[in-house]
Amino acid sequence: MIVEKASSPDNLFLADYLNYLAELFKAQEKYAEAEPFYERVLANAEKAAGRDSDFISLPLYKLTLLYQSQGKYGQAEPLSLRLLAIRENTLGPHHPDVAQRLNELAVVYRGLGKFAEAEPLSERAPRRHGHRCRTQHRAARS
C-alpha cells in the first residue's frame, strides 16, 4: 500500500486508514479481508503504547468481535481475556464496561462449549453493573 510505504507503523493516519479498510470489509461481511487489517491496527497500537495499555482496548475489542462473528472463538478467547484484564485494571471491577467485557467473554466461552466457565461470568456481570448503578443512585439522592 502506498500509504503504508509513506508512513511509519505508528503513524495515526495509517492507523485510521487501516481501521477504515477493516470496517469497510466488515460492513460488507468480507471478514477474511477485514481480519489482516484489524490485526495490523492492533499490532501497531501495541507497538506504540504497549501490550497492556488501555490505548489498545478499541482495536483489541474490534478484532475480538470480528473473530466472534466468524465463529473463531478459540482466537477470540485470549483477546477477550486480555481486554477484560486491561479494562478492569483501568476502570476498576465495578465499571459497566467491565460488566460488558464479562458478558462478551461468556459468549466466547459458550461458543467454545465451555458452559461451566461462561455461567459464573454472566452471573457476575449484572451484579457489577447493578453495583455501579446503585452507588450512583445513592450519590444522586444525597
Structure confidence by residue, pLDDT tens digits, 77-123 = 999 999 999 999 999 998 999 999 999 999 999 999 999 999 998 77
As for how many domains the chain has, the answer is 1
Structure confidence by residue, pLDDT tens digits, 49-66 = 999 999 999 999 999 999
* pLDDT reported for residue 3: 45
* Joined grid coordinates for residue 124: 457476575
Report residue 15's pLDDT band, with 50, 70 and 90 as the boundaries: confident
Q: What single letter denotes the amino acid at residue 116?
A: A
**Which three-class secondary structure string do you get for the chain?**
CHHHHHCCCCCHHHHHHHHHHHHHHHHCCCHHHHHHHHHHHHHHHHHHHCCCCHHHHHHHHHHHHHHHHCCCHHHHHHHHHHHHHHHHHHHCCCCHHHHHHHHHHHHHHHHCCCHHHHHHHHHHHHHHHHHHHHHHHHHHHC
Q: What single letter denotes the amino acid at residue 142?
A: S
38 pLDDT exceeds 60? yes
Q: What is the CATH number of the domain that holds 119?
A: 1.25.40.10
* pLDDT reported for residue 5: 47
For residue 78, what are the domain limits? 2-141
Structure confidence by residue, pLDDT tens digits, 73-82 = 999 999 999 9
Q: Which residues of 39-52 are buried (b: 16+ CB within 10 A; e: fewer)?
A: ebbbebbbebeeee
Claim: this prediction has a pTM higher than 0.85 = no
